[in-house]
Amino acid sequence: MRYRTLGDLRVSAVGLGAMPLSIEGHPDEPRALATVHAALDAGVTLLDTADSYHLPGAAPGHNELLVARALAAYGGDTSGVLVATKGGRGRPADGDWTVDGGARHLKSAAEASLKRLGVEAIGLYQLHKPDPAVPFEESVGALRELLDEGKIRLAGVSNTDVGQIRTARDILGDRLVAVQNRYSPAVRDSEAELTLCAELGLAFLPWSPLGGISRSSLDGPSRLVGPRRFGSFHDVAAERGVSPQQVCLAWLLAKSPVVIPIPGASRPETIRDSAAAADLVLDAAELARLDEAARRP
Ligand SMILES: NC(=O)c1ccc[n+]([C@@H]2O[C@H](COP(=O)([O-])OP(=O)(O)OC[C@H]3O[C@@H](n4cnc5c(N)ncnc54)[C@H](OP(=O)(O)O)[C@@H]3O)[C@@H](O)[C@H]2O)c1
């Protein structure tokens, strides 16, 4: 496993996105625990969760409780594992993803996450999404209060643009350590934010790094790196004898040393395969081919 910097921490270059373990189509508890344990066995030390990763209309926290149970049940040392959670979104019964970035909500949501995770302070707490109905400064101000109170150790923002990242940096200083935006070969509209993170030394956590495919098979072609637009990902994978998903993650890692992808998984095989991407170093010619494929409309 290779490692990358997140604030004052060193975390695995590939994390686990735990969302598929708790939303629609999630696996049963034994398979969910086995998936987290497979990640830990593979050297993954960053687990991404959120209070809103649960079935529509259910109580918040399914995913956080699951992650906490998985860590408690793991036989090995978990002291170096960073659990990154988020607040500011909800999932009502209609299946929508709502936002609530009010300071009062964020502060009580963080307290509840703290209890569910069973920790003294949340390792990394991320504003899930700016709330258009709430001044961004108010939401980030809540993160600052949580930092000052020692309830969270480090802060991050998600789904933010360049201006919002700069504002968060002004308010939080070097306690802002991470930005989590959608980024994959298929969706590259956060290029400017990635560039800013590299400039400021903020970790950039691409979410849905594989394109948000909800189900894919190690045995068959995925919809993300389908044969037409993303043929080069398949070609390089075949040449290297690895999966196209590994090539995709290695391509992301090569974008910048601040990139730490958090691929989702609902079974041990997929996170094992994704974690191995941390050790796949693509050469300049391969990266040029992949860049060209990703740029194609
Ligand atoms: N901040 C935000 O707003 C936001 C939004 C969405 C997601 N996220 C975070 O980002 C994480 C990742 O996003 P995501 O789960 O939507 O999408 P993703 O990582 O692009 O794709 C996840 C899917 O890809 C499959 N997969 C993963 N690794 C694979 C491999 N090596 N080979 C074949 N298939 C593989 C998994 O299949 P199996 O299910 O079969 O294992 C899983 O269903 C989430 O889990 C969550 O933590 C954040």
Average pLDDT value over all residues in the chain? 93
Active-site annotation holds for 53: yes
With a 6 Å cutoff on the Cβ, whether 228 touches ligand 1 is: no
Classify residue 118 as left (phi > 0), alpha (psi -120 to 50) or beta: left
Q: How far is CA 34 from the centre of its chain?
A: 19
Q: How confident is the model at residue 215 (pLDDT cuts 50, 70, 90)?
A: very low
C-alpha pair distances (Å), 228 with each of 24, 30, 196, 248, 285: 29, 37, 31, 15, 20
- pLDDT reading at 220 higher than 80: no
> Which residue's CA is the nearest one to ligand 1's atom 42?
265
Q: What is the pLDDT of residues 226-235, one digit of tens each?
A: 445 677 888 8
Q: What is the pLDDT of residues 137-173, one digit of tens each?
A: 999 999 999 999 999 999 999 999 999 999 999 999 9
**252 vs 267: CA distance, rounded Å:** 22
> Which residue's CA is the nearest one to ligand 1's atom 47?
17
Q: How confident is the model at residue 216 (pLDDT cuts 50, 70, 90)?
A: very low
Q: What is the DSSP letter of 81?
A: P
CB atoms within 10 A of CB 31: 13
| pLDDT of amino acid 229 | 63
With a 6 Å cutoff on the Cβ, whether 270 touches ligand 1 is: yes
Mean pLDDT score, 178-204: 95
Is pLDDT larger for residue 215 or for residue 277?
Answer: 277
The model scores a pTM over 0.75 = yes
> Which residue's CA is the nearest one to ligand 1's atom 22?
264
Q: Which of 3, 53, 74, 183 is labelled catalytic?
A: 53
With a 6 Å cutoff on the Cβ, whether 158 touches ligand 1 is: yes
Which atom of ligand 1 is nearest to 184's Cα? 20
What are residue 10's DSSP bridge partners? 5
**Parallel/antiparallel/unpaired status of strands 82-87 and 89-90:** unpaired
- pLDDT reading at 222 higher than 60: no
With a 6 Å cutoff on the Cβ, whether 46 touches ligand 1 is: no
With a 6 Å cutoff on the Cβ, whether 267 touches ligand 1 is: yes
Q: What is the pLDDT of residues 32-73, one digit of tens each?
A: 999 999 999 999 999 999 999 999 999 999 999 999 999 999
Mean pLDDT score, 232-249: 92
With a 6 Å cutoff on the Cβ, whether 16 touches ligand 1 is: no
- pLDDT reading at 213 higher than 70: no
| pLDDT of amino acid 84 | 98
**287 vs 150: CA distance, rounded Å:** 42
With a 6 Å cutoff on the Cβ, whether 207 touches ligand 1 is: yes
- Using the CB atoms, write b or e for 234-271: b if 16+ within 10 Å: bbbbeeeebbbbbbbbbbbbbbeebbbbbbbbbbbebb
Which atom of ligand 1 is nearest to 48's Cα? 47
Site to substitute for ligand 1 among 97, 184, 207, 240, most atoms within 8 A of C-beta: 207
Q: Please answer whether residues 245 and 277 qualify as being in contact, where contact means their C-beta atoms are separated by less than 8 angstroms.
A: yes
